Structure 1
Amino acid sequence: MPDAGGTPTPARTETRSGSRRPRWLSPLLRRILLMNALPPALLAAALLYLDQYQNGLLAAEVEALRTQARIYAAAIGEAATRPRDDRTILVPEAARPLLRRLVEPSPNTQARLFDNTGLLVADSRVREGPGGAIVTEPLPPPEPRGAFAGTVAGIYERVLAVLPRGAQDEVTVDVNPNAPSFDWQPEFGGTSGTDRREELRLALEGGVRPYIRRTADGRLLVSVAEPARRGAAPVGIVLLTREAREVDARLLDIRVSVLALFALALVLTVLLSMYLSRTLATPILELARAAAAMREGEGRGGSVPRPLLTREDEIGVLARDLQTAARALWARIDANERFAADVAHELRNPLTSVRSAIETLRRIEDPVKQRRLLAIIADDAVRMDRLINDIADSSRVDAELSRTIATPVDVAPILGALGELHAATRAEGDPTLEIEAPAEGLSVRGVEGRLVQVFRNLIGNAISFSPRDGHVVVRARPTGQMVEFIIEDDGPGIPDAKLESIFDRFYSERPTGERFGQHSGLGLSISKQIVEGLRGRIAAENRRDADGAILGARFIVRLPAA
């Protein structure tokens, strides 16, 4: 399957242990899914815990049921009572049919009528059947739910079973919320003794609060009690119980909507997470495979897939940096291989000379020739010692500069000290050295010891090529963000074809008459290593007159100003 950049990638990836794991189970994808899915999940959970909305619905249900109970109580107080002696009493024979007729329009409501002593007088669900039998009609069963709604409701109710139910019976619409509830229904229990008498008294005074409960089969029932009065005298208590199906239905509708939206958000979250995984995790795996290929020696020209190199985001920056680092590493490896080959070649010459001199020394007995051969061996030993020291120094330069932090260095005192040292040690006929630089305030970013080595190499090189009583000039001046150093001599100059190669390792083109083996050919190479390691540039050119004749050599060094 192609990745974000269009490169075909396998459907599975290798783990470190060698087993294969599906890419969609990668740790990065799991973290993306968790971070993206957690907020909508928490929001859905908060919305599904609809306590406040549920209490509002229950409060409205209680108010409607209480209004209905007051209407029933008023009707019974007017039509089902008669005076006796000095008080008014209920007439059960008149109350029962009246109560049933009042409840008929409300099939989910059950009405009960109690007298002043708490005795059940009438029940809208109790009627006389054939042969005088008493028949109790249960509340109608709940309407069947759809398959999806039933599944959602079942899952949600099982989840809520382990969570707090919330304050379903804490409805704050009553004038006395701390009063007890009146629920004298045998199938739901009730109270007895002193508590029952207290409830009866409060019910007759209209001071009980609604009773809200959920049955074992999941029905939500709401009960209210209102006193029936004839004038100001209470004659009984009307207890209305209604199944609050509308409350559950509305809550279920909201929960189904919330879950549907959450399911949609979850699907979008998964798709977006997979997209992020394919645009982040997959390219990172590609880069990891490219790095592994480089470690195994593959892809000298760069094993990073081209689509990753053309990306304009952070992955593209990482891919290009990895490619650049890989090429620089291969260049360093190749340079080390060439350096090792050059070292072997340069050491082979004096070793061959020493071996030949020793073999010849064994065969001859002439003391003069023996001393001459021993001198050759001594010179070659000195040459090898100088060569080994320069090789070691060249090998240390890159590592030292990579570990050392460049600091501001004032080069003017360094140049002044080199000029004074040359003047103090100058023999008759040696070239003179002129320093044209400010006494101080010529700062560059570098390493002081290595800068001294560069200037000593360049000045020593210029002096060695200058003729007798020649003149070497060192000029230094700031040029914008750089500081420029120019070293000029009066020597024969540099062949035009060698202006670049003179900085190669072991390249040596010495002045006429200088004894062979006095230099290792690493001075200019080390100087270039140091200058470029300090983010500078070094170049060589010839000084010419108006006719184009060579007047001498010129080395130009530019270093970043501090």
Structure 2
Amino acid sequence: MRKAAHAMGQHRRTARRWRLPLGLRFTLALAMVPLLVLPLVGLRFTEVMTELARNERLENQAQAARNLAASLHERRDLFELGAAAGDRRAGAEPLPVELLADVVVDHDAGEWLEVPGRALPMRAPEGTIASVMRVRLAAARSQERPGRFYLLVDADDERLVLPEIRDGRRLAGDELIVEHGLHADSMRPLHVQPQERPGGWIAEIAFETEPALLRVRITDVDYLGSRRVEGEADSGLLAPVRPVAAPTHNDRRPALWADAVRGLARASGRVSVFDAAGALLAQSGRVSGDPPPADEWQSRLARRLLAATLSLRPERFLDDSEPGAMPAVPPLTRALSGLPAQQAERISAQAGLPAWMLTSAQPLWVGDRVVGALVLEENTGSRLGVAREAIERLALLTAAAMVATALALLAVGSVTVARVVRLRRQAEQAIDSRGRVVGGIRAPLFRDEIGALAESHANVLERLRQHQQYVGNLRGRLMHELRTPIMVVRSSLDNLAAEADPQRQEAYLARARDGAQRLERIVASMGEASSLEAMLAQSTLEPVDLAALLNACADGYRSAFGSRAFEVDCSVGEAPCPVVPEAIVQALDKLVSNAVDFAAPGSPIVLSLRRDDEANATGADRWVFSVGNQGP
């Protein structure tokens, strides 16, 4: 009893186990999640192809810079007065300075779009590259306000964290310190408060007089509450590149440089020539900025979709140096040291296409002395106009295809769920609370798996209805068969109790025995029927020729009942069918025994086999055995 109760309790706990209610629509939605990776794969492929094109363009630019530098080698007349490097600041790297019409300190980088920048790699306290922030420096002079100097610090950051005082304790924040002065040991720090912008922060610093040396230091802290230092940047000493000096009356170089500049003007991008001290001697061309994006609603929608796609992945840090390595030396500094240099700086991304500032620098030689450097700069964003439009169109088509796919899958899922729910309701309504079949399942419209399931349910219900009718008819048959022998036994017993004559009592007892024997035969027949059903359920089907089986049984009956004539009515030659032959022989034996008992003397007993022409749901042939006789 304890074991049974324990097993029953365990079964109930198992039955009450919670199951995750996952519907078919939710499963289809989960199946569509991998489709979101396709735009990322496409954008990554586009980036790789753009990087390959960038590398090829950088090689072509380096070859063009070598060709241009070859025309300036051994030109003593051009570098006669600027060959000495004594004016160059020791340990300071040249900082290119752009000349703009005017600069307004409004913390808007709109006028700085075409100004080449310098990337500052962020370093984590452990010496590894910090991938959460990207900083760009740019310097400019104003034509409207001569003598003034402007510095732009633009950072892509997760959030600007300002220092604050809380409970009498100062909490660290993002810091920007710009040091400036004439000498490295007498520089003055200037604490600058950046202004937050979407995706980062920006700072514009204006100097009344141009500083000889600059140094920019940045500290980035965690914005989640701990305020720990996540990254630091230090530009080192920077020396702004001096502008082209005004020509003097006896200086022959302006005319010579005018001829040289006409040769440099054929190059793509901007060509700058510096002397050994880092001063700008000549410049030709310009760095074209990114073309303005289209203002149609399709382009705006495509850009928003691409921005949302790019936000699904972390932005890669643009510095490809190894963790703990020193920052890359600018190309101008390397060229003034006598080494050719190349640099590709990622400055923006248009519709998922990255734009680079390509820089190639070549040293200029007079004899065995470096007298200057030639720098060739180009912005690849100026070439991305057509590609950007193609990417935007592709983004719209991809989004439309994904939306159509999602809607189609949801529609298929909704129709499938509706059909399954309809089938479940029909199955539940087909059987009432007392287990009786009171309804049916309508024929399906579609011949698919769900339609086959509906047909299977309909067949099951039809068999249940037939069994229910059989059980209902069995009750009436039993009452009809049992009523007569019961009445015979009862009346015989009543008469026996009232009769005193021994002979008549013996007659009533015989009648009672006949009624009891009839009841016994009915019970035995019911047992045999139950045994036959059990045997059919446990037996395996064998392929048998029913015509040959019928002829064999007829021969056996002729031998067993010699006084009777047996005829076989079978028009088919062969009748193969998977059956239980013992059950068929047993059924024929009972039918023939009944026919022998009730057939008229001299009349034949006919054994027949015919194919049933009634349609079968399984498509297999149905055969009918029958035993016929002529009664008295």
TM-score by length of 2: 0.53
> 1:159 is matched with which residue?
312
- Report the counterpart of residue 117 of structure 2 in structure 1: none
Question: Measured at CA, do residues 291 and 442 of structure 1 come closer, stay the same or move farther in structure 2, by a change above 3 Å?
Answer: closer
Number of the residue aligned with 1:224: 360
Question: Is 1:51 matched up with 2:47?
Answer: yes
Kindly tell me: are residues 413 and 262 of structure 1, through their superposed partners in 2, closer, same or farther at Cα, counting changes over 3 Å?
closer
Q: 1:407 touches 1:447 (CA, 8 Å); kept in 2?
A: yes
CA contact (8 A) 2:608 2:625 kept: no
What is the DSSP-based 3-state SS (H/G/I as helix, E as strand, rest coil) of the residue aligned with 1:455?
A: helix
Paired residue for 1:62? 58
* Residue pair 1:48, 1:255 contacting (<8 A) in 2 also: no
Alignment correspondent of 1:7: none
Secondary structure in 1 matching 2:597: helix
Q: 1:27 aligns with which of 23, 29, 36?
A: 23
Check 1:263–1:324 CA distance in 2 against 1; reply closer, same or farther (3 A cut). Answer: same
1:286 aligns with 2:422: yes
SS of aligned partner of 1:120: coil
> 1:78 deviation in Å?
7.3
Please tell me whether the aligned partners of residues 288 and 382 of structure 2 are also in contact (alpha carbons under 8 angstroms): no
Instruction: List aligned pairs for 1:238-253, cutoff 5 A.
Output: 238-246=374-382, 252-253=388-389
Cα 1:168/1:221, change in 2 over 3 Å: farther
**1:62 Cα offset (Å):** 1.8
How far apart in 2 are the matches of 1:383 and 1:70?
123
- Alpha-carbon spacing, 1:255–1:34, altered in 2? closer, same or farther (3 Å): farther
Deviation at 1:255, TM superposition (A): 4.2
Q: Work out which of the residue numbers 259, 280, 297 in structure 2 matches 1:122.
A: 280
Contact 1:293/1:299 (CA < 8 Å) preserved in 2? no
Measure, in 2, the Cα distance between the counterparts of 1:245 and 1:471. 107
> Aligned in 2, Cα 1:280/1:57: closer, same or farther, shift over 3 Å?
same
Does structure 2 conserve the Cα–Cα contact (< 8 Å) formed by 1:55 and 1:168?
Answer: no
Change (3 A) 1:84 1:326: closer
| Closer/same/farther in 2, CA of residues 45 and 404 from structure 1, 3 Å limit | farther
Distance in 1, matches of 2:427 and 2:568, equals 51
Equivalent pair of 1:431/1:467 in contact (CA under 8 Å): no
Q: 1:232 to 1:277 in 2, by over 3 A?
A: same
Give 1:535's aligned residue: 622
State which of 459, 462, 479 in structure 1 corresponds to 2:592: 459
Displacement of 1:337: 0.9
Alignment of 1:10-25 (within 5 A): none
CA distance in 1, matches of 2:625, 2:594: 14
The structure with more helix, counted as a fraction of residues:
1
The amino acid that maps onto 1:304 is: I
Counterpart residue number, 1:327: 462
RMSD: 5.3
**Alpha-carbon spacing, 1:154–1:97, altered in 2? closer, same or farther (3 Å):** farther
Partners of 1:160 and 1:354 in 2: how far apart?
A: 94
Structure 2 vs 1, CA of residues 80 and 359 (structure 1 numbering), >3 Å: closer, same or farther? farther
Name the SS of the counterpart of 2:312 in structure 1. Answer: helix
Equivalent residues in 2 for 1:86-485, closer than 5 Å: 94=253, 109=270, 111=272, 113=274, 115=276, 119-122=277-280, 147-148=300-301, 151-152=304-305, 154-161=307-314, 183-184=330-331, 200-203=337-340, 208=341, 210-214=342-346, 220-229=356-365, 235-246=371-382, 252-296=388-432, 302-305=439-442, 309-311=444-446, 315-395=450-530, 397=532, 401=536, 404-409=539-544, 412=548, 416=552, 419-420=555-556, 423=559, 430-433=563-566, 444-468=577-601, 471-472=604-605, 474=607
Q: Is the 8 A contact 1:109 1:241 kept in 2?
A: yes
**Cα offsets for 1:429-450 (capped at 9, x unmatched):** x53557799xx99865321221
User: Structure 1's 419 and 110: CA in aligned 2 closer, same or farther, altered over 3 A?
Assistant: same
Offset of residue 249 of structure 1: 5.7
Structure 1 pair 399–110 and aligned structure 2 pair: CA distance change class (3 A): farther
TM-score of the two chains, using structure 1 as the length reference:
0.58
The question of whether the paired residues in 1 share the 8 Å contact of 2:79 and 2:371 is answered with: no
Letter in 2 for 1:353: V
SS of match in other structure, 1:461: helix
Residues 211-260 of structure 1, C-alpha deviation per residue, up to 9 Å, x if partnerless?
A: 22336999733221223345897643223344432366666545433331
SS at match of 1:202: coil
Q: Distance in 2 between matches of 1:392 and 1:212?
A: 96
SS in 1 for 2:516: helix
Where 2:330 maps in the other structure, the secondary structure is: coil
**Structure 2: runs of 5+ lacking an equivalent:** 1-15, 88-243, 246-252, 322-326, 613-619
| 8 Å CA contact 1:224, 1:240 repeated in 2 | yes
Determine the C-alpha separation between the residues in 1 that align with 2:302 and 2:75: 45
1:1-49: CA deviations, max 9, x gaps? xxxxxxxxxxxxxxxx9xxxxxxx983334445556745x444332211
Sort the Cα spacing of 1:226 and 1:403 in 2 relative to 1 into closer, same or farther, 3 A.
farther
SS at match of 1:452: helix
Equivalenced residue count is: 422
**Equivalent residue, structure 2, for 1:172:** none
Instruction: Return the offset for 1:284.
Output: 2.3
